[in-house]
Chain A
């Protein structure tokens, strides 16, 4: 009896075992989703945001530093038993605000900008006060955690345009980013030094893998931190800016549109670079970045427009200095060459009639330089005046461009404009193939016409004259990280095509401009020999722009400067005053002429 029943039981036992093995084979080997889920479940990848490098001025004063910032992040997938009343109490929100926050979150999810498995910033930039309150209670809200990072803070408002600003990397930037360094939510320098030195400042993100239990409570590092990477702080920068001088420049330029650039001629280090009108850079950090950015960029005064590098003007009379030196180099005149002030083709100003080169620069004689340019462009190297002018213009261009005009100097800032030095090809295009000759283009002789420069180029020009023929590319950072050195391109000397002997006349003439010429009333200093040149950029029908370049002292110059004040009339007034005040401030520590300072501060020329 009961034959085979033993076997039935044995078969049942083994059969069940086989069923389990097959089912396990599917769960453990075939199905991938369990493995993925396990990662999401147990290991939290915590991003360690690096500290961005700070920027100090040349005397060690802080310009840009970092403030701690705390965001409340949420991983929707892990939110459970959410008690909204309790949440509102802990986070000091009303039910309505909370609903709004969730609404925003769900919108982001719908727009595929967020998903329920990734951390999403639920509340941005909590204050340290909020943080203290929240930290004790955060464990009550599974799925929520605090992410700390740092945000930018600016010690001085005066450097806003040069420093630029930082914001979260945009969707477009992420798409363009080929390096794969950036992730959504990362900060990136958007303009100014923050953008130019981004690769040095940003540092490197670290990752920490933390193990959590089912309630999301961190239970220590995963595998003893074997896979963790430390965040590497960004490199600190030392700026060439003298913050005191910079702030003084901003103070003087307050209420005006224009720029001040001061350069140390021996090194090309920019001592001050002021753009007016400007903005408070602290508006572009922190919680209200987007609203403030919209407000600032819609401002009719264009505070984000960095005039020193982006505003292009006609060079005006200052160009005559360059003109003189090129003519001397080409040998078409000597310092003693006198030319009659024939005002039939081109008008002039002031009482003079037959000046030599020094007198022509001091009095800014237009007919003199009209004649000089004709001598340079029409040397009779070709049979017809058209080809002759073309050959002459090409040679002239070469000289002018060796001063850094008509090209980007290569300052360590983005968005530098190149200005314009018209080439023969430029005129071919402008005249649409019709022939052109000297009489068509002579207004470039006095810095009008097609010539365009940016204020930076003018400051660099002043430095070049101060150096008697060479310049270092102007730059704002003198030390990157621990190197103590600027980027290598800023250690390279650039020589002009002009012999240094030919600078003597220009320097003497510029000294006379300040001592007895157009700038004598407002730029002359008692103890310091200042060399300068005024310029007035015609701006019909609006008031002229006032321009002044200078360097001082004449021997062994310490500072070269260019000042542009828009709509403020002749160069001898607002611009010369500001430039001389800046020189005084830098060399003497303050002005001895309160009346000039008062004159500058009174002037309001905003259109």
Chain B
């Protein structure tokens, strides 16, 4: 090997720095959310102590990722993907039940969630497939294969009733868009979500039908000189939206479980059930809101520490930041995430091969989805779904899988110049 291959000179230290800040701050917050005055942050009986072990494990894992040859990931993408799918398949049968969800595979006293690792595996396989020579996004067969690739883990995770994690895979649509997929599908998806909420809000469905009709007419007018195929697609989209309206009641009442229905209704009307389904969001908002501008100070939060906010050290870890560090702290955290996301996009764009670029975008989009839904649910902009905040939330599977996700990209990035040499 040549001397200039020393990894420390090529790795993107900006990303590493942001990663370090997030993990360290997250660790402090986990301590703050659970500590008991008498116990130290290193106490292994506390979540903070265990998180410290996870952090150490992450560092070991990072070193391993950096040492392993970069070609490993591309070469073994299908293999990794297949292995994870196999584990996911096993979970409903041999998994242990934690908090009502059977999502864990146990090895002794430790457990892992294969669904967490399915994200980077899917990112690898999608990148590998798109990176294949001769791949065309407008090729229907290629598209079907891609959708099957994200559809498989979604289905398997849905079997575990982990709806939150299943939704994460939808974010690959953003990656596909970047790689040439028509935005039309995204828009229809977005439209369906909006229509879904509006249907629950607006009593008279005919107003919505009318709105869709007007939108369809306008779209047809502007595209009147285009190919007939486009007109058909627009009409199909409008019909899908109209169908959504008629099916909302069915979906809501039959496909969603009762507690999901409530979570959606609570979002629409927060006053609805403050002690029941609305409890999470209500308490979470109280905790964040009570932080004010500067926050109550480290370890001074009362709401999170006293367990008013459920899962305050995992999915609702942001409450601790909001309460103890105030708006300033929230600003800092959001800036960190924006910095990371933009940096990852920057890294993705400077890759020399398509595999690495697609993988980079997958990393950015997965992180973005987690960040956006997690914060949105804690501040009452999105129904409560079990989505951890990357690098902040307590949990070994979550931290390790995000670490793997990010550092594979850093490894690829460190060797981006080699790609050309190899070709």
Residues of A in contact with B (beta carbons under 8 Å apart) = 1-2, 5-6, 8-10, 12-14, 16-17, 19-21, 23-25, 27-29, 31, 33-35, 37-39, 41-43, 80, 211-214, 219-220, 222-223
* Segment of B64-72, B109-117, B151-159, B341-349 in the binding face: B341-349
Contact A41 B341 (CB under 8 A): no
The 18 sampled A-B contact pairs (Cβ below 8 Å) are A2-B179, A9-B178, A10-B342, A17-B335, A21-B334, A23-B379, A24-B330, A24-B379, A25-B327, A28-B322, A29-B327, A31-B289, A39-B290, A42-B308, A43-B302, A211-B302, A211-B305, A214-B308
Asked whether B167 is an interface residue with its Cβ less than 8 Å from the other chain, the reply is no
Our pick among B288, B306, B331, B361 for the contact of A42 (Cβ within 8 Å) is: B306
Q: How far is the CA of A21 from the CA of B331 in the complex (A)?
A: 7
Interface string of B172-197 (1 = CB under 8 A from A): 00100111100000000000000000
B289→A220 contact, CB < 8 A: no
With A17-B338, A38-B286 as given contacts, are A29 and B293 in contact (CB-CB < 8 Å)? yes
Q: Of B178, B290, B334, which contacts A37 at CB under 8 A?
A: B290
B307:A20 contact, CB within 8 angstroms: no
Closest residue of B by beta carbon distance from A32: B289
**B contacts, CB < 8 Å to A:** 37, 174, 177-180, 275, 283, 285-293, 300, 302-303, 305-308, 322, 326-327, 330-331, 334-335, 337-338, 341-342, 345, 349, 361, 364-365, 368, 371-372, 375-376, 379, 381
- Check A28 against B178 for contact (C-beta < 8 Å): no
Task: Report if A2-B178 is in contact (Cβ < 8 Å); known contacts: A41-B308, A213-B306.
Answer: yes
B306–A21 CB distance below 8 A: no
Kindly list chain B residues whose C-beta atoms are within 8 Å of the C-beta of A24: 288, 322, 327, 330-331, 379
Interface centre among A8, A16, A213 (most CB of B within 10 A): A16
Q: Contact: B286 with A41, CB < 8 Å?
A: yes
Closest to A13 in B: B341
List of B residues within 8 angstroms of A80 by Cβ: 275
Known: A27-B289, A28-B292, A38-B290. A20 touches B306 (CB 8 A): no
Kindly report which residue of chain A lies nearest to residue B367, judged by CB atoms: A13
Partner of B307, one of A17, A19, A213: A213
Q: Are B342 and A27 within 8 A (Cβ)?
A: no
Could you say which residues of chain B place their CB within 8 Å of the CB of A212? 306
Residue among B37, B174, B341, B381 facing the most chain A CB atoms (10 A cut-off): B341
CA distance A571 to B288 in the complex (A): 82
Given A37-B290, A214-B307, check contact A13 B331 (CB 8 Å).
no
Q: Which of A1, A13, A34, A213 contacts B285 (CB 8 A)?
A: A34
Measured in the bound complex, the distance between the Cα atoms of B293 and A35 in whole Å is 12
CB distance from B55 to the nearest CB of A (A): 25
| Residue contact A42 to B302, C-beta cutoff 8 Å | yes
A24's nearest neighbour on chain B, judged by CB, is B330
Residue pair A35, B379 in contact (C-beta under 8 Å): no
Q: How far is the CA of A41 from the CA of B361 in the complex (A)?
A: 43
Q: Are B381 and A23 in contact (CB under 8 A)?
A: yes
Q: Nearest Cβ distance between residue A447 and chain B, in whole angstroms?
A: 73
B330 in contact with A21 (CB, 8 Å): yes
With CB as the reference atom, state the residue of chain A lying closest to B304.
Answer: A42
Contact A14 B322 (CB under 8 A): no
Q: Which of A19, A34, A219 contacts B290 (CB 8 A)?
A: A34
Contacts of A35 in B (CB 8 A): 289-290, 292
Contact A20 B302 (CB under 8 A): no
Return A215 CB to nearest CB of chain B, in Å. 8
**Residue in A closest to B341 when the chains form the complex, CB atoms:** A13
CB nearest to A27 among chain B residues: B289
Chain A residue at minimum C-beta to C-beta distance from B179: A2
CB pair A14–B338 under 8 Å, yes or no, is yes
Give 5 closest A-B pairs by Cβ, nearest first. Answer: A34-B289, A38-B290, A42-B302, A213-B306, A28-B327
Q: B122: shortest Cβ distance to chain A, in Å?
A: 18
Inter-subunit contact B306/A214 (CB<8 Å): yes
> A211–B334 contact, CB under 8 A?
no
A17–B334 touching, CB < 8 Å = yes
**A20 neighbours in B (Cβ, 8 Å):** 330, 334, 375-376, 379
Find out whether the CB atom of B178 lies under 8 angstroms from the CB atom of A38.
no
Q: Which of A2, A25, A213 contacts B180 (CB 8 A)?
A: A2
Given contacts A12-B368, A41-B283, 6 further A-B contacts (CB under 8 A): A5-B177, A13-B345, A21-B331, A27-B289, A27-B379, A31-B289
Q: Verify A5–B178 contact, CB threshold 8 A.
A: yes
Query: Which listed residue, A2, A5, A34, touches B286 by the CB 8 Å rule?
Result: A34
Report A411 CB to chain B, min CB distance, Å. 53
A219 to B365, CA, bound (A): 41
A9-B334 CB under 8 A given contacts A28-B327, A38-B287: no
**Cα–Cα, bound, A213→B312 (Å):** 12
Complex CA–CA separation, A14 to B368 (angstroms): 10
Q: Please measure, in the bound complex, the distance between the C-alpha atom of A19 and the C-alpha atom of B371, giving whole angstroms.
A: 13
By a CB distance below 8 angstroms, the chain B residues around A223 are 300
Cβ A13 vs Cβ B290 within 8 A: no
Query: Which A residues touch B322, using CB under 8 A?
Result: 24, 27-28
Contacts of A25 in B (CB 8 A): 327
Q: Are B376 and A37 in contact (CB under 8 A)?
A: no
Query: Which residue of chain B has its CB nearest to the CB of A19?
Result: B381
Instruction: Report A-chain residues with C-beta under 8 Å of the C-beta of B290.
Output: 34-35, 37-39
Please give the distance in Å from A36's CB to the nearest CB on chain B. 9
Residue of A nearest to B365 (CB): A9
- List, in ascending order, chain A residues with CB within 8 A of B376's CB: 20
B292 near A6: Cβ-Cβ < 8 Å: no
Give the distance to chain A from B146, nearest Cβ to Cβ, in Å: 16
Q: How far is the CA of A6 from the CA of B341 in the complex (A)?
A: 12
Chain A residues with CB under 8 A of B178: 2, 5-6, 9
CB A80 to nearest CB in B, in angstroms, measures 6
Q: How far is the CA of A24 from the CA of B302 in the complex (A)?
A: 19
Partner of A13, one of B37, B293, B342: B342
Q: Of B177, B291, B338, which contacts A28 at CB under 8 A? A: B291
Complex-state Cα separation, A41 to B364, whole angstroms:
38
Complex contacts, B342 vs chain A, CB 8 Å: 10, 13-14
B288 and A28 within 8 A (CB): yes
Q: Which residues of B contact A16 (CB under 8 A)?
A: 368, 371-372
Contacts of B335 in A (CB 8 A): 17
Minimum CB distance partner of A216 in chain B: B306
Q: Are B302 and A13 in contact (CB-based, < 8 A)?
A: no
Interchain nearest-CB distance for B305 vs A (Å): 8
What's the nearest-Cβ distance from chain B to residue A589, in Å?
63
Q: Is the CB of A34 within 8 A of B306?
A: no
CA distance A212 to B306 in the complex (A): 6
In the assembled complex, the Cα of A376 lies from the Cα of B174 at a distance in Å of 118
Q: How far is the CA of A11 from the CA of B83 in the complex (A)?
A: 36
Within the complex, the shortest CB–CB distance from B175 to chain A, in Å, comes to: 9
